[in-house]
Structure 1
Amino acid sequence: MPYEWSSPPPHDQPQWSLSLWPYRSLLRRDFVLFMGGTATLIALPLLVVLGSAVLWGLLPFFILAFSGLWFALNASYRRGAVLEELTVDDQTAHLTRHNPRGPRQDWEANRYWVSVHLHPKGGPVENYITLRGGDREVEIGSFLDASERLALYDDLKRAMRG
């Protein structure tokens, strides 16, 4: 699961934290291997025309394809660099969202007034989870898939009760 508890729920202690991040199917070390393999496979046909003028006609397309793939994968990594941290102690619940490009977003409410809500339909995503407390309602884990949000909802309900 792309989230991690400071201690497994249900929580017996009054203080705990939860960290959430988007799922990554291609890790950074695998990215290097993938790009190396792609460069090798694209460069193989260039070996046939090595030393001829045709190489200079095909080389720009090789460079364009390789750099386009590199740029697209790096842009995906930058957009997915989201981290949400929920910290709950005996008095307050504090949610911090670290956005990839933009300001950090903070939300804080009295722990005893915080409620967890699941919106199966009608939200921006299926099984949309929000925390309501104080005068605001904030989303949590919108980048998770639908089944992960359901599991997170159950975990959050149990943890907020404890």
Structure 2
Amino acid sequence: MPYRWTPDPTLARESHATPAGKPLCRLDLWPHRSLPSKGFSAAIWVMFVGGMIPLIPFIGTVAFWVLLAFIMVVLAALWTALRRSDRDLLREALVITPQQIDLTHWSAKGAQFTWEANPYWVRLTLHRDAKIENYLTLKGSGDHNKREVELGAFLSPEERKKLHGELARILAQMRGAA
């Protein structure tokens, strides 16, 4: 699953014993990656070997070199596309403390956007009938924070639904401890 809680979200039950500025938990979200390192290496080798097999009958001819050039261009394009998906900086971090929730979103190019609200007043909504299935949003309350922000837009609908349940449970525990 492309998100991770640190420390365990069940620690939110003990929010009354946590110092004011210390995070109860942190949620890191990231999009699915194309391949892990071993998968990347295997894909490149499979493409290379698969591309070289049809060249065997052309060894020693001009056609061999022309076809080899095309195969190398395709291999380079595959390499570039797979590595680019690993370099994207798209991610989100949600830090929950007893007094504040901070959401930081980094775009694919690295631009940073932040949102903060009091956890007691945060409204978590799972929009089931939106254009995007199981669209997950957070909305704060107060004069400075009336905008609604999306959370985990790059997650699958099932992952957003599961995340909604986990986050709703944490917010309910915090409200009960306050």
TM-score, length basis structure 1: 0.89
Q: Is the 8 A contact 1:83 1:98 kept in 2?
A: yes
Q: Distance in 2 between matches of 1:152 and 1:112?
A: 18
Q: Which amino acid aligns with 1:2?
A: P
Identity of matched residues, %: 37
1:4 maps onto 2:15 in alignment = no
Alignment deviations for residues 84-126 of structure 1 (CA, whole Å, 9 cap, x no partner): 1100111110001122204111111122111101111224x20
Q: How many residues align?
A: 160
SS at match of 1:13: helix
Match of 1:103 among 104, 111, 128: 111
Alignment of 1:28-39 (within 5 A): 28-39=37-48
Q: Distance in 2 between matches of 1:12 and 1:129?
A: 23
Q: Which amino acid aligns with 1:38?
A: M
Alignment of 1:99-138 (within 5 A): 99-123=107-131, 125-133=132-140, 134-138=145-149
- Partner residue of 1:160? 171
After the TM superposition, which of the residue ranges 68-77 and 88-97 deviates more from structure 2? 68-77
Shift of 1:26: 1.6
Shift of 1:159: 0.7
Q: Which amino acid aligns with 1:137?
A: E
- Partner residue of 2:152? 141
- Partner residue of 2:176? none
Q: Distance in 2 between matches of 1:160 and 1:39?
A: 51
Shift of 1:25: 5.1
1:76 maps onto 2:85 in alignment = yes
The root-mean-square deviation of aligned C-alpha atoms, in Å, is 1.7
TM-score, length basis structure 2: 0.81
Structure 1: tracts of 5 or more residues without a match: none
SS at match of 1:113: coil
Ranges of 4+ aligned residues in structure 1 off by more than 6 Å: none
Alignment deviations for residues 42-99 of structure 1 (CA, whole Å, 9 cap, x no partner): 01222332222221221222122212222222333344x4221100111110001122
Shift of 1:19: 1.0
- Partner residue of 1:13? 14
1:61 maps onto 2:83 in alignment = no
